[in-house]
C-alpha cells in the first residue's frame, strides 16, 4: 500500500466510523472496477501477451474479469478480486437455452469445484445479455451458485434499453419494455445485483446527438430505480474503445463522464468494455499487447474511482437531479432535497454565456450526514459552478479524488470541473 492509499483509508475510517484509523477494513472499502473481457481464454488471443493480470492491476482495476482458475494465484498476489469464467462443456454461458434444466445444478457445481475456494474469487460469470426466455434457466444457475459457493456472485450482465423489444421470439429483450425486462429479471432470476451495459455516450458522438445520448441517462435512472426498489446494488458496464468504426473514440472526458455519472447515480460497480482491442479500435491494449493512450486515460479514471468508491459505498443514494439543460426529456430537475439550484458557467469573465448541464446526485451517510456529487455533463467545456442549498450548512467540503481528504469549497469563486469530471461535496451542519 502506498502512503497515499494509507492516508485515504485513514481518512475514510475516521470520517465514517468515528473510531481510530487503525480499525480493520470492511467490505465497504472495496469498490468493483473490472475490465469486461476474457483476460485469458475465450477467443482472446493477443500476440506476446500471455497473461495480462499485472497490467490490469497497474491500470487501477480492483477486479480481474474474467479469468481462469489458473490465474487466481496471481490475482491474489496482486490484491485483485476475480470473476471466474466458465470453460466447461463448450462455454455454455453462450448456450443457456440448450442446457437441460436438470444439468444446470451439476454443471455449476463443477464450475465451483474446478475453480476452488480461493480467496480472490468474487464470483462466477454466468451470461452476457440474456433475453427473458432464458430467465428460468438463469434462476437455476443463480440458485446453484448460492448453494455451492455461498457469498459469491453469480454475474449476469443485461441488455441496454435500446436492445430490440417485443415478442420473445422476435426481440433481444423478449419484453414489452426495458422496465418490464428489468422487473422480470429481478422477480424470476432473483439476482444478487443488476448489471447492464450502455454505450450511447460513444454512439452519440460525445452527446452531440441528444436523442442518442438520452438513452444512456434514461437507462441509468431506470436501473437505479429498480435496484433501489428491490434493495440490490447495480453495476454499470460502459465503453472504453471505439465501439463502432463510425463512432467517437475514448477520451479522458468521456471516460470520466461514464464513471462519475455511475457514482452520482449510486452505482456500486463499474465495468469497462473492452480491455483488448480485438475488433475494436482505440482499446486499452492493442493487438500486439501494447498499452495505448486509452490505457493511460483509463488508469487515471480508475484511480479516482478507487479513491471515491469506498466513500460512496458508505452513502445511500437519496436522489438524482439535473439542471434545466437536462440530457433527456423527463429527467428529474432541481430542486432536490439538498440542492435548490446550481449556477454553471464556462467563463467567469463573461466571454461566453454558456451554462454546461450538471447532474446532481444526493446522498445520506449512515450517521445522517449529507453529501452531493456534481458532474459536468459537457464533453466540450469546463464548468465553473456555485451551489445553492435548501438550508444553511456550516461547512461545504470538497472530497479529493486524489487521496480522499477534505478541503473547503470555494463558494465565492465557484468550483471548476473539466469536461466529464465530477466532484463529491460533504455538507456539514456544524
| pLDDT of amino acid 346 | 98
| pLDDT of amino acid 23 | 41
Query: What pTM did the predictor assign?
Result: 0.92
Q: What tens-digit pLDDT sequence spans the chain (430 residues)? A: 443 444 344 444 444 433 333 344 678 999 999 999 988 755 555 555 666 899 999 999 999 989 989 899 999 999 999 999 976 555 666 778 788 999 999 999 998 998 987 789 999 999 999 999 999 999 999 999 999 999 999 999 999 999 998 776 778 999 999 999 999 999 999 999 999 999 999 999 999 999 999 999 999 999 999 999 999 999 999 999 999 999 999 999 999 999 999 999 999 999 999 999 988 999 999 988 889 999 999 999 999 999 999 999 999 999 999 999 899 999 999 999 999 999 999 999 999 999 999 999 999 999 999 999 999 999 999 999 999 999 999 999 999 999 999 999 999 999 999 999 999 999 999 7
φ, ψ for residue 342, nearest 5 deg: -130, 125
Residue at grid coordinates 423527463: 330
φ, ψ for residue 71, nearest 5 deg: -95, -5
Q: What is the rounded CA–CA span in Å between residue 20 and residue 30?
A: 19
- Do the beta carbons of residue 285 and residue 295 sit within 8 Å? yes
| pLDDT of amino acid 90 | 57
Point out which residues pair with 258 in neighbouring strands.
Answer: none
Q: What is the rounded CA–CA span in Å between residue 292 and residue 277?
A: 10
Q: What is the rounded CA–CA span in Å between residue 394 and residue 12?
A: 21
Point out which residues pair with 345 in neighbouring strands.
Answer: 384
φ, ψ for residue 279, nearest 5 deg: -95, 10
Q: What is the rounded CA–CA span in Å between residue 343 and residue 383?
A: 10
Amino acid at each position: 500500500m502506498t502512503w497515499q492509499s494509507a492516508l485515504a483509508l485513514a481518512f475514510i475510517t475516521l470520517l465514517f466510523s468515528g473510531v481510530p484509523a487503525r480499525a480493520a477494513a470492511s467490505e465497504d472499502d472495496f469498490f468493483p472496477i473490472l475490465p469486461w473481457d476474457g483476460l485469458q481464454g475465450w477467443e482472446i488471443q493477443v500476440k506476446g501477451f500471455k497473461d495480462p493480470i499485472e497490467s490490469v492491476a497497474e491500470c487501477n482495476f480492483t477486479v480481474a474479469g474474467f479469468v481462469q482458475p489458473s490465474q487466481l494465484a496471481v490475482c491474489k498476489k496482486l490484491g485483485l478480486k476475480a470473476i471466474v469464467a466458465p470453460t466447461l462443456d463448450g462455454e455454455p454461458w453462450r448456450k443457456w437455452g440448450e442446457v437441460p434444466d436438470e444439468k444446470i445444478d451439476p454443471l455449476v457445481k463443477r464450475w465451483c469445484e474446478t475453480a476452488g475456494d480461493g480467496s480472490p474469487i468474487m464470483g462466477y460469470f454466468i451470461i452476457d445479455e440474456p433475453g427473458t426466455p432464458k430467465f428460468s434457466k438463469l434462476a437455476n444457475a443463480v440458485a446453484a451458485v448460492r448453494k455451492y459457493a455461498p457469498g459469491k456472485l453469480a454475474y449476469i450482465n443485461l441488455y441496454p434499453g435500446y436492445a430490440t423489444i417485443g415478442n420473445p421470439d422476435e426481440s433481444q429483450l423478449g419484453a414489452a419494455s426495458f422496465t418490464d425486462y428489468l422487473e422480470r429479471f429481478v422477480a424470476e432470476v432473483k439476482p444478487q445485483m443488476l448489471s447492464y451495459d450502455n454505450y450511447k455516450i460513444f454512439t452519440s458522438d460525445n452527446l452531440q446527438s441528444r436523442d442518442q445520448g438520452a438513452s444512456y441517462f434514461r437507462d441509468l435512472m431506470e436501473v437505479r430505480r429498480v435496484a433501489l426498489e428491490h434493495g440490490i446494488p447495480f453495476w454499470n458496464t460502459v465503453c472504453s474503445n471505439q465501439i463502432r468504426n463510425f463512432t467517437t473514440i475514448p477520451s479522458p472526458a468521456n471516460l470520466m463522464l461514464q464513471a462519475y455519472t455511475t457514482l452520482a447515480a449510486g452505482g456500486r460497480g463499474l465495468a469497462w468494455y473492452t480491455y483488448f482491442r480485438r475488433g475494436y479500435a482505440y482499446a486499452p491494449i492493442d493487438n500486439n499487447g501494447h498499452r495505448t493512450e486509452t490505457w493511460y486515460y483509463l488508469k487515471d479514471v480508475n484511480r479516482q474511482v478507487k479513491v471515491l468508491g469506498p466513500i460512496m459505498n458508505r452513502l445511500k443514494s437519496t436522489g438524482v437531479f439535473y439542471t434545466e439543460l437536462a440530457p433527456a426529456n423527463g429527467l428529474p430537475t432541481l430542486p432536490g432535497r439538498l440542492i435548490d439550484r446550481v449556477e454553471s458557467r464556462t467563463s467567469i469573465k463573461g466571454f461566453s454565456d454558456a451554462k454546461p448541464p450538471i447532474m446532481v446526485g444526493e446522498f445520506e451517510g449512515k450517521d445522517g450526514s449529507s453529501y452531493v456529487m456534481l458532474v459536468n455533463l459537457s464533453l466540450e467545456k469546463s464548468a465553473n459552478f456555485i451551489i445553492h442549498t435548501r438550508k444553511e450548512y456550516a461547512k461545504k467540503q470538497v472530497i479529493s479524488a486524489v487521496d480522499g481528504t477534505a478541503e473547503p469549497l470555494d463558494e465565492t469563486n465557484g468550483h471548476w470541473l473539466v469536461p466529464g469530471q465530477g466532484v463529491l461535496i460533504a455538507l456539514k451542519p456544524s
